[in-house]
Amino acid sequence: MVVLDFLKDILSEPAFLMGLIACLGLLALKSPAHKVMTGTLGPILGYLMLSAGAGVIVANLEPLSQMIETGFHITGVVPNNEAVTSVAQEVLGVETMSILVVGLLFNLLIARLTRFKYIFLTGHHSFFMACLLSAVLGSLDFKGLVLIVVGGFILGAWSAISPAIGQQYTLKATDGDEIAMGHFGSLGYYLSGWIGSLVGKGSQSTEDIQVSEKWNFLRNTTISTALIMVVFYLIAAIAAGTSFVETLSEGQNPIIFAILSGLKFAVGVAIVYAGVRMILADLIPAFEGISSKLIPNAVPAVDCAVFFPYAPTAVILGFAFSFLGGLIGMFILGAVGGVLIIPGMVPHFFCGATAGIYGNATGGRRGAIVGSFVNGLLLAFLPALLLPVLGNLGFSNTTFGDVDFGVLGILLGRLGSMAGSLGVYLIVGILAVILIFPSFAHQSNEAINNHE
């Protein structure tokens, strides 16, 4: 049990996972000891920087969310992966941990034996998906070893398949860099990329927007993010009122609190960017070792925040229009008498920003705006449909936020409730066919879809 706990902690910590993969790659390349050490530490420190920046962002989004709820008199369910996972660990701890370990092993096996060469490195998202699978399968009366093996296979299969589905869009978003999307909001990003290709013909890239010389300071991502977020916070603080904001600010003047929160948010984004640069500097070269020796043509699937530096303006546009989509989705749910899903700032920032990047990659400004707006609608409707299939977790005042959790959870839950365990095994069978078929259809050892 102690060993399993240790493994769980290692595998659910992306910093260690990235460092371990980089170390294996450098050893496979027979790099000198000092290069192995620095090349292993680089991704670890980079991801810790990324996590620290994300922590600053999340910490400052929480009061913004509370001020909006109070100021505009909104009550309902707030999707938040971290919150629902912490609730689940009280009842599903062992199952989640076991599915996580088995899922990672399946992912590596699939990458070695099939054309789905994508190795999913975002350990905390694997942990969230393991938790979702244990909840949904548990509510369908799966137990013990069967639950762990079925859940582990689905996790490992989706970890390899989801990056492949939209890899052509990912290559456009990253200017051909050999990385893939390792984040379970991926279906929303790919949909945004597809929408961009439909609506964005001739639309200028968000990064090519012409700015007058006197406004040139806005090209500094940190400054432009700070200015935009300060406006957001000031509006929310004024709407919430002085007395409520003072409960959040521990007596600090509400206006000062709002301004500082917006500025701290921008600092968090700057730290994320710096961490991403450290990760990519060492991880991609080390992956050559993985590709050449251990898993030929392997492709690292990394966290969505890694993509932010590729289109910083699209990050802000994506967040704004995803949040707008979430608000409109909330009002639609209220009008039809559904569960009110309050737009969670964390999923709308990270997922909305990434949807904006993908929409921009295929359709410029129009693609970024429309793609991230549709992503925002999905972040409202999917959590509402997911709640009934979560079993006991459905009673907590939160749920999983990102698109893949909603799609996979609803599909498993609905098919399972209609056809019992047969419905779940049908999904397992379909995933197995998807994994095996490309190897027979086209004799190649290259990662599927990893070309423009």
Q: Which of 273-277, 362-366, 417-421 has the lowest mean pLDDT?
A: 273-277
| Residues 172, 187: Cα–Cα separation, whole Å | 16
* Residue 166: inside a domain: yes
Give residue 197's pLDDT: 94
Percent of the chain clearing pLDDT 90 (strictly above): 35
pLDDT, one tens digit per residue, over 79-119 is 877 767 766 666 677 788 788 878 988 998 999 999 999 99
pLDDT above 70: residue 1: no
Helices and strands: H and E segment counts in the chain: 15, 5
**Stretch among 98-112, 219-233, 351-365 having the lowest mean pLDDT:** 219-233
Q: Compute the average pLDDT of residues 333-346.
A: 82
pTM summary value: 0.82
The residue among 452, 423, 352, 337 whose CA lies nearest residue 384 is 337
In a domain, 292, yes or no: yes
Window from 126-135, 218-227, 234-243 with minimum mean pLDDT? 218-227
Q: Has residue 214 got a pLDDT over 90? A: no
Of the segments 82-86, 257-261, 293-297, 339-343, which one has the largest average pLDDT value? 257-261
**Domain-located, residue 448:** no
Q: Which of 2-16, 19-33, 107-121 has the highest mean pLDDT?
A: 107-121
Q: What is the pLDDT of residues 150-173, one digit of tens each?
A: 999 999 999 999 999 999 999 999
Distances (CA, A) of 185 to 63, 162, 322, 450: 24, 10, 13, 19
Between 60 and 435, name the one with better pLDDT: 435
Name the nearest CA neighbour of 447 among 314, 230, 300, 270: 300
What's the whole-number mean pLDDT along residues 239-248? Answer: 90
Which residues, 6 or more positions from 227, have their beta carbon under 8 angstroms from its beta carbon? 218
**pLDDT tens by residue, 37-54:** 998 898 889 888 877 887
Tell me if 449 is assigned to some domain: no
pLDDT band for position 270 (cuts 50, 70, 90) = confident
pLDDT at 220 over 90: no
Highest mean pLDDT among 13-17, 85-89, 217-221, 417-421: 417-421
398 membership: H or E segment, kind and range = strand 398-399
Residue 21 banded pLDDT, cuts 50, 70, 90 = confident
Average pLDDT over residues 416-441: 89
At 410-426, the pLDDT tens digits run 999 899 888 888 999 99
Is 395's pLDDT higher than 60?
Answer: no
Q: Is residue 250 part of a domain?
A: yes
Instruction: Please report whether residue 315 resides in a domain.
Output: yes
Q: Which range in 16-25, 98-107, 128-137, 180-189 is most confidently predicted, on average pLDDT?
A: 180-189
Structure confidence at residue 72 (pLDDT) = 78
Among the listed residues 351, 362, 367, the one whose alpha carbon sits nearest the alpha carbon of residue 403: 351
Question: Chain-wide mean pLDDT for the chain?
Answer: 85
Q: Tell me which of 181 and 281 has the higher pLDDT.
A: 181
Q: How far apart are CA 372 and CA 235, in angstroms?
A: 22
Q: Are 387 and 77 in contact (CB under 8 A)?
A: yes
| CA neighbor of 399 nearest in space, from 414, 415, 388 | 388
Domain that holds residue 341: 2-441
Q: Kindly indicate the confidence band of residue 293, based on its pLDDT and cuts at 50, 70 and 90.
A: confident
Q: Is residue 358 part of a domain?
A: yes
Instruction: At 402, give phi and psi (nearest 5°).
Output: -85, 160
Q: Is the residue at 452 inside a domain?
A: no
User: Domains in the chain: how many in total?
Assistant: 1
- How would residue 211 be classed by pLDDT, with cut points 50, 70 and 90? low
